[in-house]
């Protein structure tokens, strides 16, 4: 398997290197779909320039990266292209290894279940074979590396690529069962952009499952494990925050990074739901809706964890998708990360209801973004509503995609318990409905 992966990495790096050398780089780096005020490379350079002028980068409202990013690029600014390509490669390899390991476990579990005769007899066609699972890790890496969204994100040098790498490493370490590293990478991801905080629920579920700790509120071992993980997580977060303080000698970065993420003062258009909503919001309702929208990201964690407590990896996928839809400054890089997981769920395809429609809408919207942007900003023949309409449609498509996968996953689980061909009481063929 190493040879195809190497080939894939080579192809991906070549594509990126070619694009870096082309005249498209500047165009891509300006696209609002690819870079947000949080992740734009132009703003990283501005932060470094401010630092050179002896002004704190957080004195103004242009730079919103964390101090560690400044520190990193203080040394690597000349090798930025290599850094971003490396970040993509790391993400792809980490996802590859994580998915390979996960598939092994899935297969092992399936084998035990088969041996214990836990599946109904007519479910044999739902059983996954090693042959079809063999190429999944490679497909995941390919979905990430050759996804146009990822390529654009890398060519624009959006720091979203680095955040994705951290999250991918977090997933890898979690699946490999390393509690400490998982906590460290999770705290790094949280430190970069608050939202990955919700990933601690699937991480805990997965690690407990792996260590055969039952998810039971009355058990001491459950709470002990949570305490351990929380201690490691909060400890490394504390270290990171203090380290950032000592790097710049002030707490200015807290309001400038996290306040900026949470209070959404910059209404630059992007593919998310926030910008136009808060541009048109009545001032006295602003705080209320800000809270509603921000809570929305964190709100689904607990019910999803309850529902998917046996399937933490699917929960990670769901959480990543929810974050990338409802976060305040989303870019296509965030979408690329959760889309990389789609090959992992290719056994669900027979239960998907509207995948064709959704993928058509997603493709059409991706093409329409630059067109309507041009009409609004450059040609002046359209107005902001056009671009806004496309962002709405794009988000509806994403929501449908995610809920479709969720539906298919739940349905397959149902079939694995109750049999594939269900019968009504009168013996005719039954249809399943949600009630």
Please give the residue ranges that form the binding site for another protein (CB under 8 A). 30, 32, 42, 45-46, 48-50, 53, 55, 59-62, 265-269, 273, 275-283, 293, 296, 300, 303-304, 307, 325-326, 376-378, 383-385, 388, 392, 395-396, 399-400, 403, 406-407, 410-411, 414, 422, 424-425, 430-435
3-state SS string for 369-418: HHHHHHHHHHHCCCCHHHHHHHHHHHHHHHHHHHHHHHHHHHHHHHHHHH
Q: Helix, strand or coil for residue 92?
A: helix
Q: For residues 11 and 59, which CB has a smaller minimum distance to another protein in the complex?
A: 59
**Which residue, chain included where needed, has tokens 């201690």?**
231
Q: For residues 293 and 369, which CB has a smaller minimum distance to another protein in the complex?
A: 293
Least distance in Å: CB of 293 to another protein? 7
Query: CA-CA distance, 241 to 418, in Å (whole number)?
Result: 50
Least distance in Å: CB of 345 to another protein? 15
Q: For residues 25 and 384, which CB has a smaller minimum distance to another protein in the complex?
A: 384
Q: For residues 55 and 239, which CB has a smaller minimum distance to another protein in the complex?
A: 55
Least distance in Å: CB of 407 to another protein? 6
Query: CA-CA distance, 84 to 91, in Å (whole number)?
Result: 11
Least distance in Å: CB of 309 to another protein? 12
Residue 429 φ/ψ, nearest 5 degrees: -70, 135
Q: Helix, strand or coil for residue 429?
A: strand
Least distance in Å: CB of 88 to another protein? 25
Least distance in Å: CB of 34 to another protein? 13
Q: For residues 245 and 289, which CB has a smaller minimum distance to another protein in the complex?
A: 289
Least distance in Å: CB of 211 to another protein? 27
Least distance in Å: CB of 408 to another protein? 10
Least distance in Å: CB of 213 to another protein? 24
Q: For residues 97 and 322, which CB has a smaller minimum distance to another protein in the complex?
A: 322
Least distance in Å: CB of 289 to another protein? 8
Measured over the CA atoms of residue 61, residue 252, residue 194 and residue 102, the dihedral's sign is positive
Tell how far CA 114 is from the center of its chain.
Answer: 33
Residue 383 φ/ψ, nearest 5 degrees: -120, -175
For 392, residues 6+ apart whose C-beta sits below 8 A from its C-beta are 273
Cβ neighbours of 425 (radius 10 Å): 6
Query: CA-CA distance, 318 to 166, in Å (whole number)?
Result: 18
Q: For residues 37 and 161, which CB has a smaller minimum distance to another protein in the complex?
A: 37
Query: CA-CA distance, 376 to 363, in Å (whole number)?
Result: 20
Q: For residues 132 and 280, which CB has a smaller minimum distance to another protein in the complex?
A: 280
The maximal CA–CA distance of the chain, rounded, in angstroms, is 81
Give the total residue count for the chain: 435
For 385, residues 6+ apart whose C-beta sits below 8 A from its C-beta are none
- Of 265, 253, 240, which is closest to residue 56 (Cα–Cα)? 253
Cβ neighbours of 404 (radius 10 Å): 18
For 22, residues 6+ apart whose C-beta sits below 8 A from its C-beta are none
Provide the token pair at 185: 């990478």
First-to-final CA distance of the chain: 45
Which residues sit opposite 429 in a β-bridge? 423
Least distance in Å: CB of 3 to another protein? 41
Cβ neighbours of 49 (radius 10 Å): 13
Q: For residues 215 and 410, which CB has a smaller minimum distance to another protein in the complex?
A: 410
Q: For residues 120 and 235, which CB has a smaller minimum distance to another protein in the complex?
A: 120
Provide the token pair at 118: 């836990």
Q: For residues 25 and 178, which CB has a smaller minimum distance to another protein in the complex?
A: 25
């Amino acid at each position: 398997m190493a040879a195809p992966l190497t080939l894939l990495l080579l192809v991906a790096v070549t594509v990126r290197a070619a694009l870096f050398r082309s005249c498209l780089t500047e165009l891509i780096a300006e696209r609002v779909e690819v870079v947000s005020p949080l992740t734009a490379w132009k703003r990283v350079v501005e932060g470094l320039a401010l630092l050179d002028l002896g002004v704190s980068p957080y004195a103004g409202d242009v730079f919103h990266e964390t101090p560690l990013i400044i520190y990193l690029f203080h040394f690597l600014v000349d090798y930025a292209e290599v850094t971003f390509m490396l970040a993509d490669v790391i993400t792809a390899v980490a996802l590859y290894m994580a998915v390979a390991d996960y598939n092994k476990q899935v297969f092992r579990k399936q084998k035990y279940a088969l041996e214990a005769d836990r599946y109904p007899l007519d479910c044999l066609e739902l059983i996954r074979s090693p042959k079809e699972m063999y190429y999944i890790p490679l497909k995941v890496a390919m979905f990430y590396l050759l996804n146009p969204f990822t390529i654009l994100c890398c060519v624009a040098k959006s720091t979203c690529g680095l955040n994705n790498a951290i999250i991918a490493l977090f997933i890898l370490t979690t699946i490999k069962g390393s509690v400490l590293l998982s906590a460290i990478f999770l705290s790094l991801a949280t430190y970069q952009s608050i939202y990955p905080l919700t990933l601690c629920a699937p991480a805990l579920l997965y690690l407990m499952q792996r260590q055969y700790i039952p998810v039971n509120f009355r058990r001491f071992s459950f709470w002990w494990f949570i305490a351990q993980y929380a201690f490691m997580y909060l400890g490394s977060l504390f270290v990171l925050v203090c380290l950032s303080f000592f790097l710049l000698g002030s707490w200015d970065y807290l309001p400038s990074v996290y306040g900026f993420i949470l209070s959404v003062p910059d209404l630059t258009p992007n593919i998310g739901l926030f910008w136009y909503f808060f541009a048109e919001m009545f001032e006295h309702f602003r705080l209320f809706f800000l809270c509603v929208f921000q809570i929305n990201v964190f709100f689904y964690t607990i019910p999803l964890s309850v529902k998917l407590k046996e399937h933490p990896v699917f929960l990670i996928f769901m959480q990543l998708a929810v974050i990338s839809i409802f976060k305040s400054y989303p870019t296509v890089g965030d979408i690329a990360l959760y889309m990389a997981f789609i090959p992992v769920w290719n056994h669900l395809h027979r239960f998907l209801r509207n995948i064709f429609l959704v993928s058509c809408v997603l493709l059409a919207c991706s093409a329409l973004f630059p067109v309507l942007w041009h009409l609004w900003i450059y040609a002046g023949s359209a107005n902001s509503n056009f671009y806004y309409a496309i962002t709405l449609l794009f988000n509806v498509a994403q929501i449908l995609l995610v809920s479709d996968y969720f539906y298919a996953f739940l349905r397959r689980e149902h079939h694995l318990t109750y049999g594939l061909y269900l019968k009504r009481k009168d013996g005719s063929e039954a249809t399943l409905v949600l009630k």
